[in-house]
């Protein structure tokens, strides 16, 4: 069989409606940005990938897209070589924000690798999970990802989820999520209000959902001392405490004072960070994320390293669409030691660009698609619509993690370090 080769790569930035979820840096904008990758081959197959869409990243994606023609779709090492070679100068764009800590080549590689795996699966007639070693589970459990939240973006109509600014409202949000999706694990995004209020919210969740696994993630908003205090209060109530404080040193200091496993998607976000984190015993659970760990194959490598060093493995998400959910589901299905329920923002989304009928949640899990490739089909009309929305939404300069504070009439962002 002659493998097909890349003939053309199309990168399309899109914007989709994002509700006013609150986090440590402010509020989600009315729109979240993503870039959709379509790799076309000389045999007519098209592979899909999804990634961030801040302007610097789009520039790097464009740089890579321009050098992929002719590549054998099975040559993932060749893909990496081309990405590294062409990004030697940082892709001609400044690397800023959290991305400065990540490995730029891994971040840029990821959506192209996913798209090539989609093509390989389609050409071989096998789901992507088979290309990753085979699914060890038929369905992948996800967690209910709770957020403090405004009722609606100022100036817009209230959304269906309503406001959530105190423990009772957080429990109500959890109830709605669990009823609708069947989740058996619950994560609260913290770092928004004073730590004691967030502790009360976790206690209220624990009382309302005694059989659910709970987590809280303040995105490094707390000092070491506060983190240790919070850990004392939450001992026995949560399965892990995610990024209570920034940095490997701070996490190690907290870890020495608590039996609660500490998880991170902030201080271990590239392969270079693993050695110091393991050496300091700073982290007991690493949140993988194929979008910045270099795609699905390298995320499985991360899984192997975590296994070797006795660290647990979970999965991180940002606001995302169905192509990412499909990739996350195949990866989680084929990673034996990914035993925690994965994060997903998917329930918060009201628009998508894949055709419906796959990736539905039941009992808190998503069935692993068994159609060839990722098992999702692009809705070209929806892609066009969300691209138009990108062009008109006015937030194209945003980086991948910092949400601009444009809409904040009555909410003071958490700039304090507790
Ligand atoms: O730590 C995390 O889970 C994240 O960073 C995920 C998202 O960026 C989350 O904080 C958000 O959506 O506001």
pLDDT tens column, 289-318: 999 999 999 999 999 999 999 999 999 999
Residues (pLDDT < 70) of the chain are: 88-101, 397-417
What's the pLDDT score for residue 102?
A: 74
Q: What is the pLDDT of residue 153?
A: 78
**Residue 34 belongs to some domain of the structure:** yes
- Based on the fold, state whether residues 166 and 79 are members of the same structural domain: no
CB 19 within 8 A of CB 36: no
Considering the domain architecture, whether residues 142 and 64 belong to the same structural domain is answered as: no
List the residue whose alpha carbon is closest to atom 9 of ligand 1. 318
Closest ligand 1 atom to residue 219 Cα is 1
* Contact assessment for residue 203 and residue 170, using Cβ atoms and an 8 Å cutoff: no
313 within a domain of the structure (yes/no): yes
Same-domain status, 139 and 92: no
Distance from the alpha carbon of residue 60 to the mean position of ligand 1, in angstroms: 23
Tell me, yes or no, whether 142 lies in a domain: yes
State whether 186 and 105 are in the same domain: no
| Number of separate domains in the chain | 2
Task: List pLDDT tens digits, range 359-397.
Answer: 999 999 999 999 999 999 999 999 999 999 999 998 775
- Is residue 61, in this structure, part of any structural domain at all? yes
- The CATH number of the domain holding residue 206 is 3.20.20.120
| Ligand 1, CB within 6 Å, residue ranges | 21, 23, 189, 217, 219, 265, 316, 318-319, 343, 401
Distance, CA of 157 to chain centre: 27
Q: Quick check: is 362 in a domain? A: yes
pLDDT for 91 equals 45
Q: What is the DSSP letter of 343?
A: P
Would you state the torsion angle of the CA atoms of residues 290, 294, 295, 297, taken in this order, to the nearest 10 degrees?
Answer: -110
Together in a domain, 253 and 309: yes
Distance CA 352, CA 83 (A): 28
Q: Which residues contact 381 (CB under 8 A, 6 or more apart)?
A: none
Both 287 and 187 in a single domain? yes
Residues 179 and 231 in one domain: yes
The domain that holds 26 is classified in CATH as: 3.30.390.10
Q: Please check whether residue 400 lies inside any domain of the structure.
A: no
Q: Which residue has a Cα nearest atom 3 of ligand 1?
A: 316
State whether 77 and 213 are in the same domain. no
Structural domain that includes position 387 = 6-126+379-392
pLDDT of residue 27: 87
Catalytic residue among 40, 290, 316, 349: 316
Do both 56 and 135 map to the same domain?
no
The pTM (predicted TM-score) of the whole model is 0.94
Residue 189 catalytic? Answer: yes
């Amino acid at each position: 069989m002659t493998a097909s080769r890349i003939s053309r790569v199309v990168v399309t930035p899109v914007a989709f409606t994002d509700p006013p979820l609150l986090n440590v840096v402010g509020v989600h904008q009315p729109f979240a940005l993503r870039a959709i990758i379509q790799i076309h081959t000389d045999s007519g197959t098209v592979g899909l990938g999804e990634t961030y869409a801040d302007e610097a990243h789009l520039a790097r994606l464009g740089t890579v897209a321009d050098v992929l023609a002719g590549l054998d779709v099975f040559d993932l090492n060749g893909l990496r070589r081309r990405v590294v070679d062409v990004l030697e100068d940082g892709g001609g764009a400044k690397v800023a924000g959290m991305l400065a800590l990540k490995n730029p080549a891994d971040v840029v590689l990821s959506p192209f690798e996913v798209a090539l795996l989609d093509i390989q699966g389609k050409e071989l007639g096998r789901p992507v999970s088979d290309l990753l070693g085979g699914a060890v589970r038929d369905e992948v459990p996800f967690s209910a990802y709770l957020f403090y939240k405004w009722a609606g973006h100022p100036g817009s109509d209230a959304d269906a989820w309503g406001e959530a600014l105190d423990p009772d409202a957080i429990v109500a949000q959890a109830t709605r999520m669990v009823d609708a999706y069947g989740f058996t694990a619950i994560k609260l995004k913290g770092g928004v209000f004073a730590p004691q209020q967030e502790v009360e919210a976790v206690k209220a969740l624990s009382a309302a959902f005694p059989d659910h696994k709970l987590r809280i993630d303040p995105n490094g908003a707390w000092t070491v001392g506060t983190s240790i205090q919070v850990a004392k209060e939450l001992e026995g109530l949560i399965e892990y405490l995610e990024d209570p404080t920034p940095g490997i040193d701070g996490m190690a200091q907290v870890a020495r004072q608590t039996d609660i496993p500490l998880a991170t998607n902030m201080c271990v976000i590239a392969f270079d960070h693993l050695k110091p984190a393991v050496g300091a015993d700073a982290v007991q659970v690493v949140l993988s994320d194929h979008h910045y760990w270099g795609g699905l194959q390298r995320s499985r490598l991360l899984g192997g390293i975590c296994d070797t060093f006795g660290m647990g493995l979970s999965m991180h998400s940002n606001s995302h669409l169905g192509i990412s959910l499909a990739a996350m589901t195949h990866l989680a299905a084929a990673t034996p030691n990914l035993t925690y329920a994965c994060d997903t923002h998917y329930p918060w989304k009201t628009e998508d660009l894949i055709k419906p009928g796959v990736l539905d949640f039941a009992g808190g899990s998503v069935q692993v698609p068994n159609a060839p490739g990722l098992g999702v089909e692009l809705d070209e009309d929806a892609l066009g619509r969300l691209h138009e929305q990108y062009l008109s939404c006015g937030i194209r300069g945003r980086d991948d993690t910092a949400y601009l504070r444009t809409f904040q009439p009555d909410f003071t962002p958490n700039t304090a370090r507790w």
